[in-house]
Structure 1
C-alpha cells in the first residue's frame, strides 16, 4: 500500500482553514526563532536595492556627460588628429580621460576602442592592446574588429602566437562574407610567421571554400600554392 502524501498542496492550504492556520503558525514560529537572521537578510536586500538604484542614477548621469564629451572628441579622431583625440584640446576631454573617468558607461567603453585605434596608429602597441582588450561589444562587426586590431598590434611586436589567438577570435566571431575572409587572411599570415604552415593552409582553404565570392579568394589560392609543398600536400 502506498504511503499517503501528508505534505499539503498549495490548493489544500487555500481551501482548508485548519491547514492554513497550521502553516501560518509554522511561519510565525520560524520568524520568532530566526528574527535576527530574517531582519538582517531583509535589511541586506533593501540595502542592495537602494545601492543599485543609486548606482544606476549615478551611471545615467555619467553617461550623459561622457557621451557629450565623446561626441566632441570624435571629430579630432576622424580628422586623424590623434594627439588631440587622445588627450583632448580646447578644454575638451580626450579619449584617455573619457575611458578612465567614466568607467561603467557605454561612452567609456567606446572611448577604449577609439583610443586603441589611435594608439595603434602611433605605434604604441602595448597601450593599444590594453585599451582594445578593455572594449567589449555584442555588435556584429566592431567586436571582431577590436580583436583583429589586437592581432595587428601583436604582429607589430613579432609576437605571432598572440596574434594568431586574436585573429582566430576575430574570424570566428559572428562570421560574415565581408570581414571574416579578411581576418582569415590575417590569421593565415600570422600562422605562417609562427611556422605553422598546416594551420595557415587550412585558413586559406576556409577563405576559398566558405567565401568563394570574396575578393580575398585570389590571394588565398596563390598563397595556398606557395605553401602546399611545405606541408606535403
Structure 2
C-alpha cells in the first residue's frame, strides 16, 4: 500500500542538520583555539625573560660572527697574504737556483727577509688564515729540500687542502721525508695515499710510480706490479708510463 506524506510537513533537510552541527563544531573549535592562545600568551608572559635572553644570545652570536669576519678575520687574511708574498718569492727563487744557493734561499723563505715574515712566522701569527695554512705546505717543502725531514713531516701533516694538486703533493712529500729517514713502509703508505687522494694525469701516476719503486725495495712484487699496471693502463701518456717496463720486469721476477 502506498505511503503518503502529510501535506504541509517537510522533513528537516540534511543541509540544515549539518549547519546546526557545523555551527556547534565551529564554536567548539574557536573556543579551543581561544583557550590555546590564552595558554600560549600566559606561557610567553611567564617565560618572556628567558625568551629574550635566548634571542639576545643568538643575535650576539650572529653579529659576533659577522663582526669577527669583517673586522678581524678579513684584515688578518690580507695581512697574512701581504707577508706571504716575499717568502713565496724566496721559495720560487730557491727552486730555480743552483744547489750552492738554494739552501740559503729556502732558509730565507722559512725565516723571513727584507722586513717580512718567513713561513714559520706566518704559521705562528696567522695560523687561522688561508695563508697560514698554505705556509705549512711551503715550510714543509722547504724543510724537505734542506734535509730537515721531521720538520717537513710536521708541517705537511698540518697542511689541510682539497686542492687537486697541492693535497696529493703534500702527502707525497711526507712519503719522501719518510723514505729519507729510512722508513720505507711509512713512505709506501703515504705514496699510496697520495695516489688515491685525487685522480689526475700529474700526481696520480707520479705517486703510483714512487709506490711501485718503494714496493720493489720492500720485496712486495705483487703490489708493485699492480701500481705499474695502473700507470700503463690508465695513464699511458704520462712521463711515468715510459718507465713502467724498466720496473715491471723486476716486480714480476720477485713473485
Pick closer, same or farther for the CA change 1:36–1:211 going to 2, 3 Å: same
Give yes or no for the alignment of 1:194 onto 2:218: yes
Whole-angstrom distance in 2 between the partners of 1:98 and 1:201: 43
The SS at the match of 1:216 is helix
Pick closer, same or farther for the CA change 1:42–1:190 going to 2, 3 Å: farther
Give yes or no for the alignment of 1:177 onto 2:194: no
Q: Which residue of 2 aligns with 1:113?
A: 137
CA contact (8 A) 2:178 2:187 kept: yes
Structure 1: gaps of 5 or more residues = 1-15
Pick closer, same or farther for the CA change 1:29–1:129 going to 2, 3 Å: farther
TM-score, scaled relative to structure 1? 0.83
Larger Rg: 2
Whole-angstrom distance in 1 between the partners of 2:138 and 2:168: 14
Task: Please state how far the C-alpha of 1:32 moved relative to its aligned partner.
Answer: 4.0
Whole-angstrom distance in 2 between the partners of 1:21 and 1:125: 75
Structure 2: gaps of 5 or more residues = 1-28, 95-104
- Over the aligned positions, Cα root-mean-square deviation in angstroms equals 2.2
Give yes or no for the alignment of 1:72 onto 2:86: yes
The SS at the match of 2:113 is coil
Paired residues in the alignment total 216
TM-score, scaled relative to structure 2? 0.76
Q: Which residue of 2 aligns with 1:138?
A: 162
